[in-house]
Amino acid sequence: MDECIFCKIASHSIPAYVVSENDEVMAFADINPATKGHILVIPKSHATNLFDIEEASFIKVLSLAKRIARVMPEVLGCSGINLFHSAGKIAWQEVMHFHLHIVPRYRREELQRPFVSTPANKTELKEIALRLSRKLSNK
């Protein structure tokens, strides 16, 4: 993907503050961090989002994210971690190359939740769970 900025980073065509990499995955500092130490983890081969990343590649990205997250409290002094992925523009995905955000969380920070949780209708929850369960059983 010639226009994909993360593909350019993965191929070392443009610079990045690389934390870790191997032949298949790479982790680097987000240049517009939500908090100090915000890291992105990507597959080196292009996949747009969760819907089209290969299972093996996804597992490798997740494994590297876990390794990085485990050392963040000691290295950065954070008290917690947010790990997230946005799939599609409606879900705030800005770069159309699969990536996981590892966002260190610190006491007394101003970072806000991206959504407000509200109590759900139990009938609706039951229906959603049943529909998803049926679809998964058919696969």
Residue 97 bears catalytic tag:
no
Contact 84, 103 (CB under 8 A): yes
Give the closest residue to 95 by CA, choosing from 34, 49, 61: 49
Point out the catalytic residue in the list 85, 97, 99, 101. Answer: 99
Concatenated DSSP letters of 109-134: --PPPSS---PPPHHHHHHHHHHHHH
Catalytic residues: 99
